[in-house]
A and B are shown apart, each in its own frame.
Chain A
Amino acid sequence: MDGRAPRAGPGDPVDRDEPVSQAGRRSQRERRGRPGAVNASFVLSAAASAGLTVLYALGGQPQLEGALILVALGAMAVGLILWERRFLPQGPYVQAREPLPSTPLERKAFAEDFEVGAEAIGRRTFIARLFGLALGALGVAAILPIRSLGPSPGRSLFVTEWRRGSRVVKANNQPVKVADLNVGSVVTVFPEGHPGSADSQTVLIRVDPSRFTPVPGREDWSPAGNVAYSKVCTHAGCPVGLYEQQTGRLFCPCHQSVFDAMDGAKPLSGPATRPLPQLALEVDPEGFLRARHDFTEPVGPGFWNEGHVS
């Protein structure tokens, strides 16, 4: 104990803090120890970095690169920490915390100076208002270009590429005939000319008519058991990618909504609230499946005015 008080009152200059001598701790001299481990760490680190250089020149290999980075930087970290623990002054040091708030006098002086300026500005109210007007007008002019970022939603969320008479095609543009699918099988289809279209993607299922209950009013939408539903999940828009033949259910792999393909694709469980919209199909004289018209309701996830179709 040297008796010097570490106590530092508020307002003391920063550099008055002092190291505190310690009983029960090894003195700085004792702490010095041998530098062997520190030296070894940095040598190891340098060796690993040299290895990295050679490895890169030879063409690189991700796992080896990872291992060498781990050694190069890890050994460096060990070296630095040991160096710090063994050879640098450990303190603890005590430093004063000056109170953060200004003195009442300083605050008052600030408030007064501010008031002087504010009054000078405030005396010219009309000028200040005109400046406000100019700023506001500039703000409006500056914010409008945001509009260029995207088109108006308009009716685009209410319509897809399906048109009256669109032929039903697979992703490779091959048209689908009424008897192409076996009962129980399923394929993703698009309107002809728009393969891969995100909002027109439709899942075509050939169902066993004895198990299938058409929605009233849609009895003629599924010629020969060819039922078509929008493939865009009505919950969050993922493709409803999984079909279970035994149960006739469609599954969305994103949030596990389940739809009953045998009963108007009504949601059975999961977060979806609306059935998958059904696409009305018909058969043309050559036997190709065609759409009778576009979906009669918006496909995919809900939006605030989705009910205003017309």
Chain B
Amino acid sequence: MITKRLARWFDDRLGASTFARSALNKVFPDHWSFMLGEIAMYCFVILVLTGTYLAFFFSTGTPEVVYHGSYLPLRGVHMSEAYASVVKISFDVRAGLVMRQTHHWAANVFVAAIVVHLCRIFFTGAFRRPREINWTIGVTMLLLGIFNGFSGYSMPDDLLSGTGLRIAYSVALSIPFAGTWLAFLAFGGEFPSDQIVHRLFILHVFIVPALLAALIGAHLALIWHQKHTQFPGKGRTETNVVGSRLYPTYAMKSIGLFAAIAAVLGGMGGLFQINPIWLYGPFQPSSVLSPAQPDWYLGWLEGALRVFPNWEFRAGGFAVPNPFFPAVLLPGVTFGLLYAWPFLEARLTGDRLAHNLLDRPSDHPVRTAFGAMALAFYALLLFAGSNDLIARLAKVSVGAVTWTFRILVVTVPFVVFFVVHRLMRGAQRAGPVRFLEIPLAAFVRGNREKLSGVAGEKALQEPEPEPPVTEELERAPGDRFERPG
């Protein structure tokens, strides 16, 4: 009764019933991989909730204080107000440590979910027309997510974060012509300035989350308007959507997912230590931690800084310093390519049609192989970011590990490209096979000959048949889609 009256009250004023009804009945395709973006979104919700809590206790002050809290090893140590406030959150604010660690874990999972979601979009061709706009929004959110991760773990003013800021400052300095000005404007003067923690706070807490929230809204609005893609399968066509309705099934599934993510992140926040700043100590410009690694999503840049050879460009008293190439140029090219990919691919393949049905990775061997190549490249850089740890574990010199990575980084991606391309071609010839059957089909000579026989050649040469529009669904399309026909 009350809901009815409430609905009438709103409809009298907004006339929203028609829209609301179509919203309730909106159909969303079901596939586990369509949940990856939702994982990122729910991480963002948890980040906002835990972050708001933390912001009540965090201080951005840089004046030096002497610690008198309950963590004994730091008693009497001089530190910035900011660092002291984070130690206080960790030891003297009830539930503070769980909130802090949940926040940090959520940040790591947030970026990870975005990256995996991006891979899903990439390898299934979901970025193609008409969804190029949403791809660029997504790439922007990845960029903002990485930045906010860095700005977040740089705020506590501990020794590890100070080292990261020092490197960021040096990277900014390395930019030709504008570098010195950019670094001084960003940091408020020569490193270490007393401004940076406060500035990071403003960016981390107000500006970037607001941008992210706006972009998430736009991302969802576009999905809503353009409707979600779906894998091909019986009864699924370019002109329909097959799945569950938003209300009640999809909504409850989604809320269940939110609860599951919150459970995992909250559990990790309580059970698994992350960023124990009280062990690192307060930042001092002349001290450094060893080994020191950034959070995972910056590991590729750290690795690039470590393995890029000692090259730089100098002429007539001017220089393009070494960090510019691995830490400015490489991310510039990386994100440039990410932004450009949908348009690049359309130009290269000539495929400018609208697509609502997703590709299988084997439908586009070159795209898939290129994506795998890129993943191999960045994964190797990520591991290269721990060259000192690897050297220690393997009991070899750091130099040997660095040289190994230099060679791997420029060779393995090409091998990966070749192998994946081969696999995908094999899978293409074999037609609808189970994933595990692909490698054999591609590499066993006998199989390949059989595959490249009449049926295989035919499959290669003939354009893909349009999925027939079936009058009836014989059975529910499962998670593992099958080729029609």
- Which residues of A pack against B, CB within 8 Å? 1, 3, 5-10, 14-15, 17, 20, 22-25, 56, 59-60, 62-74, 76-81, 83-84, 88-97, 99-100, 146-147, 149-153, 156-157, 171, 188, 190, 196-199, 201, 231, 235-239, 241-242, 253-256, 258, 267, 269-273, 300-308
Most A CB within 10 A of own CB, among B166, B170, B286, B291: B286
A-B contact count (CB 8 A): 327
Q: Which residue of B lies closest to A73 (CB)?
A: B263
B204 interface hit (Cβ, 8 Å): no
Q: Give B160 Cβ to nearest chain A Cβ, in Å.
A: 11
Q: Which of A10, A91, A201, A256 is the one whose CB lies under 8 Å from B285?
A: A201
Q: Hey, which chain B residues are within 8 Å of A9, CB to CB?
A: 239
Residues in B186-221 with C-beta less than 8 Å from chain A: 186-193, 195
Contact flags B178-189 to A (C-beta < 8 A → 1, else 0): 011101111111
Q: Which residue of B lies closest to A149 (CB)?
A: B185
B256 interface hit (Cβ, 8 Å): yes
30 pairs from A and B in contact (CB 8 Å cutoff): A6-B235, A6-B473, A14-B26, A22-B473, A25-B475, A66-B269, A68-B270, A70-B264, A70-B270, A77-B259, A77-B260, A81-B256, A94-B473, A100-B354, A150-B186, A157-B190, A241-B288, A254-B167, A269-B402, A271-B305, A273-B312, A300-B170, A302-B323, A303-B319, A304-B175, A304-B176, A305-B180, A306-B321, A308-B317, A308-B318
Q: Which residue of A lies closest to B193 (CB)?
A: A150
Q: Hey, which chain A residues are within 8 Å of B471, CB to CB?
A: 5-7
Are the C-beta atoms of A93 and B239 separated by less than 8 Å? no
Contact flags B219-253 to A (C-beta < 8 A → 1, else 0): 00000011100000001001111111100110011
Complex Cα gap A69–B189 (Å)? 44
Residues in B441-485 with C-beta less than 8 Å from chain A: 469-477
Are the C-beta atoms of B285 and A196 separated by less than 8 Å? yes
Q: Give B469 Cβ to nearest chain A Cβ, in Å.
A: 6
Complex Cα gap A267–B257 (Å)? 53
Using A65-B95, A271-B305, A302-B321 as known contacts, say yes or no to A231 and B286 having CB atoms under 8 A apart: yes
Complex Cα gap A199–B177 (Å)? 21
Q: Which of B240, B291, B292, B318 is the one whose CB lies under 8 Å from A97?
A: B240
Q: Which of A88, A147, A253 is the one whose CB lies under 8 Å from B249?
A: A88
Q: Hey, which chain B residues are within 8 Å of A84, CB to CB?
A: 248-249, 252-253, 256
Complex Cα gap A7–B227 (Å)? 17
Complex Cα gap A64–B285 (Å)? 37
Q: Which residue of A lies closest to B226 (CB)?
A: A100
Q: Hey, which chain B residues are within 8 Å of A254, CB to CB?
A: 163, 167, 288, 292
Complex Cα gap A151–B94 (Å)? 41
Are the C-beta atoms of A83 and B252 separated by less than 8 Å? yes
Q: Which residue of B lies closest to A14 (CB)?
A: B22
Q: Which residue of B lies closest to A85 (CB)?
A: B253
Extra contacts besides A67-B270, A88-B248 (18): CB < 8 Å: A62-B270, A64-B270, A65-B98, A66-B272, A80-B259, A89-B245, A94-B241, A95-B25, A96-B239, A100-B354, A150-B188, A157-B190, A196-B286, A236-B167, A238-B166, A302-B323, A304-B177, A306-B321
Are the C-beta atoms of A303 and B255 separated by less than 8 Å? no
Q: Hey, which chain B residues are within 8 Å of A306, CB to CB?
A: 317, 319, 321
Q: Hey, which chain A residues are within 8 Å of B259, CB to CB?
A: 73-74, 76-77, 80
Are the C-beta atoms of A95 and B267 separated by less than 8 Å? no
B15 interface hit (Cβ, 8 Å): no
B171 interface hit (Cβ, 8 Å): yes
Complex Cα gap A193–B473 (Å)? 83
Are the C-beta atoms of B239 and A92 separated by less than 8 Å? no
Q: Which residue of B lies closest to A57 (CB)?
A: B94
B410 interface hit (Cβ, 8 Å): no
Q: Hey, which chain B residues are within 8 Å of A235, CB to CB?
A: 170, 305, 322-323
Q: Hey, which chain A residues are within 8 Å of B151, CB to CB?
A: none
Q: Hey, which chain B residues are within 8 Å of A59, CB to CB?
A: 94
Complex Cα gap A149–B262 (Å)? 39
Q: Which residue of B lies closest to A72 (CB)?
A: B263
Are the C-beta atoms of B22 and A15 separated by less than 8 Å? yes
Most A CB within 10 A of own CB, among B184, B267, B291, B314: B267
Question: What 9 A-B pairs come out closest when comparing CB atoms?
Answer: A66-B270, A307-B317, A302-B321, A70-B267, A69-B266, A80-B256, A253-B290, A73-B263, A198-B285
B332 interface hit (Cβ, 8 Å): no
Complex Cα gap A266–B103 (Å)? 43
Complex Cα gap A59–B27 (Å)? 47
Are the C-beta atoms of A302 and B286 separated by less than 8 Å? no
Are the C-beta atoms of B476 and A198 separated by less than 8 Å? no
Interface residues on B, range: 35 or more
Are the C-beta atoms of A73 and B288 separated by less than 8 Å? no
Complex Cα gap A231–B185 (Å)? 25
Q: Give B265 Cβ to nearest chain A Cβ, in Å.
A: 9
Q: Give B80 Cβ to nearest chain A Cβ, in Å.
A: 13
Are the C-beta atoms of B239 and A90 separated by less than 8 Å? no
Q: Give A231 Cβ to nearest chain B Cβ, in Å.
A: 6
Q: Which residue of B lies closest to A252 (CB)?
A: B288
Using A23-B474, A256-B388 as known contacts, say yes or no to A271 and B185 having CB atoms under 8 A apart: no
Q: Which residue of B lies closest to A80 (CB)?
A: B256
Q: Hey, which chain A residues are within 8 Å of B76, CB to CB?
A: none
Q: Give B388 Cβ to nearest chain A Cβ, in Å.
A: 6
Q: Give A226 Cβ to nearest chain B Cβ, in Å.
A: 18
Are the C-beta atoms of B399 and A269 separated by less than 8 Å? yes
Are the C-beta atoms of A301 and B26 separated by less than 8 Å? no
Q: Hey, which chain B residues are within 8 Å of A156, CB to CB?
A: 189-190
Using A235-B323, A239-B285 as known contacts, say yes or no to A17 and B252 having CB atoms under 8 A apart: no
Are the C-beta atoms of B167 and A237 separated by less than 8 Å? yes
Complex Cα gap A269–B387 (Å)? 14
B174 interface hit (Cβ, 8 Å): yes
Are the C-beta atoms of A305 and B94 separated by less than 8 Å? no
B130 interface hit (Cβ, 8 Å): yes
B21 interface hit (Cβ, 8 Å): yes
Are the C-beta atoms of B245 and A302 separated by less than 8 Å? no
Are the C-beta atoms of B267 and A273 separated by less than 8 Å? no
Q: Hey, which chain B residues are within 8 Å of A10, CB to CB?
A: 239
Q: Which of B183, B264, B402 is the one whose CB lies under 8 Å from A256?
A: B402
Are the C-beta atoms of A236 and B170 separated by less than 8 Å? yes
Q: Which residue of A lies closest to B91 (CB)?
A: A62
Are the C-beta atoms of A304 and B180 separated by less than 8 Å? yes
Q: Hey, which chain A residues are within 8 Å of B185, CB to CB?
A: 146-147, 149-150
Are the C-beta atoms of A66 and B191 separated by less than 8 Å? no
Are the C-beta atoms of B252 and A301 separated by less than 8 Å? no
Are the C-beta atoms of A97 and B241 separated by less than 8 Å? yes
Are the C-beta atoms of A22 and B475 separated by less than 8 Å? yes
Q: Hey, which chain B residues are within 8 Å of A197, CB to CB?
A: 285
Complex Cα gap A208–B43 (Å)? 57
Q: Hey, which chain A residues are within 8 Å of B173, CB to CB?
A: 157, 301-303
Are the C-beta atoms of A20 and B286 separated by less than 8 Å? no
Are the C-beta atoms of B310 and A92 separated by less than 8 Å? no
B411 interface hit (Cβ, 8 Å): no
Q: Which residue of B lies closest to A199 (CB)?
A: B190
B65 interface hit (Cβ, 8 Å): no
Q: Hey, which chain B residues are within 8 Å of A69, CB to CB?
A: 98, 262-263, 266-267, 269-270
Are the C-beta atoms of A92 and B268 separated by less than 8 Å? no
Q: Hey, which chain A residues are within 8 Å of B318, CB to CB?
A: 304-305, 307-308
